[in-house]
Amino acid sequence: MQDCKMWIGGAWVDAESERTFTVRNPATGDEIARLPQGGPADADRAVRAARAAFVGWSKTPQAERSRILNQIAALIRAEVDELARIETIEHGMPFESAKKVLTFASHAMEFAAAAARTLRGEVIRAFPNTVTYLEREPVGVCALITPWNVPLFMICAKLSTALAAGNTCVVKPPSISSLIAVRFAELLARSDLPPGVANIVTGPGGSLGDALCSHPMVDLVGMTGSSETGKAIIASSSRTIKRLVLELGGKNPAIVLPDADLDRAAEVLGHHQFFNSGMTCGSPGRYYVHESVHDAFVDRLVARARKVVVGDPSDPATTMGPVVSAEHRASIENHIRSGVDEGARLVLGGERPTAPPLDRGYYVLPTVFTGVTQTMQIAREEIFGPVACVIRFGDGDDVIALANDNVYGLCGSVWTANLAKGLRMGAELRVGSFWVNQHNHLAPEVPWGGIRESGLGKEASIEGLKEFTQMKLVSYELIG
C-alpha cells in the first residue's frame, strides 16, 4: 500500500492530526493507498499559503503564467500512461478511456493558457475629459472541490482556468479518488509553478470541504458534484460571501422524434449512457421516444448496450469497468429496485455480475428500462450509473413540458431530420446546453454549465475563464 502526503506551500506534509484514510480499487475492493485525513487546521494552512502566493502570482506577466500552464500540460502528456494506470486502479475507468480523458485534460489546460492572453477590459465614454474603463483582475484565493467521476480532468479544468487568470488555489479532491491528485501534485512540483500557487489537500468534505468554503480568506469556491453538496456549499460560503462556480447534477432529456436517425441516436446516446459506467453528469437521464419509433429505438439501444464489455478496467478488451465504490453501487441498485417496484419494465441488466473475478468489484451491468412514467423515482432523480430510462410519448403529449418538468437544467438533445424543428424545440428546453442530433458534444472552447439545480456559472471556454476574474472600474480626469 502506498503512503501519501498533501502538497501545501511547495512542501509535502501530513495532516496535523496525523490521521489517515484508505483508498480502494473498485475493481477488487483491495486497499491501494493511505492518504492524510486533512481537517480545518490543514485547510487554514493551505489557504494561508495560497494567500501569501497570490501577491506574486497575480502580478506575474500573463505570458509567464501561460508558459507554466503549457509546461504542466506537457508533463501530463509525458506521464499519461502512468496517470491513466492510477485512474484505472483507483477509479475503475478502462485504461484506454482514461488516456483519452487525460489527454483532453492537457488540451483544456493549453486552452486556458492561450485564452487568458486574450482577456481584455472595456473603455466607457461616460464623462468629458475623463478616461473611464473596466479592467479584469483575478478574484483571489480559490477553493476547488472536485468530483470522483473524472478526477484528474476536473482538477485540470478548474485549476488551469483559475491559475491562468492569476488566482491561487487550494484543491480538495474527492476522498475516494485522491491518489491521482497526489500524483498530479508531483508534476506540479516538477514544474516552474511557484510554491503556494496551487495546494492539494486530502480529506472528507464534511470537515475539510466545509472549512475551505467558510474560510474568510477564500474568495471563490469552484465545485463539481451533486446538487445536495452544492446547496451545502452555498450555505457554508454564505457566512463570508464568496463567488461561486458550481457544476451540479443533471437528469438530461433526450427527445427522439419520428423522423430521427435511430441508428445514430442509439449509438451516440448509448455511448454517453455507458461511458465511464454512466458516471457522467451530461449523460442521458431520460429518453423521450415517440410511440411510432419507440420499439425500434429500444431494440437499437439494447443492442448497443449488449456490445458493452464489462470487465477488469486494466484489460484492453474492457469498455466499461466498475462504478467507483460499494456505496455508489448500492445507490444505483436502490434506483433500479425502485423502478421495478413502481412498474417500469426491466428489459436488460439490473444486476451485478456474479462470476469471478468481477464478483469482487463494484460492478453494475448495463441496464435499460421501458414503461417509465414521469412520476417514477428513476425518471426524476439522477442515477449516475449505466441505467437508461425510456419514456414513451404520443402526438397529444407536450414533450417539451415533460422534459422541463424536473428540478435540473444541465443539458438536453433533440433527434430529428428537421433541423428547424429541432432548434425550435431546443430553444424551449430549460437547460444550459442542448444539441440537435448530438449529445454532450464538448471541447475546451465550449462553455459548460446548467441552470436551476444544475448549478451556477460556466466552466471551460472564454466564458469559464471570465468566471475567475472580477471587473474593476478605473476612472481619472484629464487635467492640464
Q: Which residues are catalytic?
A: 247, 281
Residues 6 or more apart whose Cβ sits within 8 Å of residue 107: 73, 444
Rounded-to-integer distance, Cα 470 and Cα 450, Å:
21
Q: For residue 244, what are the β-bridge partners? A: 221
Rounded-to-integer distance, Cα 137 and Cα 145, Å:
22
Q: For residue 415, what are the β-bridge partners? A: 256
Residue type, 53: A
Q: What are phi and psi of 91, to 5 degrees?
A: -110, -25
Residue type, 139: V
Q: Are 258 and 428 in contact (CB under 8 A)?
A: no
Cis peptide before 61, with omega less than 30 degrees from 0?
no
Q: What is the DSSP letter of 407?
A: S
C-alpha separations of 69 from 62, 108, 222, 391 in Å:
11, 10, 19, 45
With H, G, I as helix, E, B as strand and everything else as coil, classify residue 432.
Answer: coil
- Bridge-based pairing of strands 284-290 and 367-370 is unpaired
Rounded-to-integer distance, Cα 369 and Cα 6, Å:
44
CA-wise closest residue to 102 among 3, 184, 2: 184
C-alpha separations of 402 from 72, 97, 232, 370, 388 in Å:
45, 34, 28, 16, 17
Residue ranges of alpha helices (H) inside 92-135 are: 95-115
Cis peptide before 357, with omega less than 30 degrees from 0?
yes
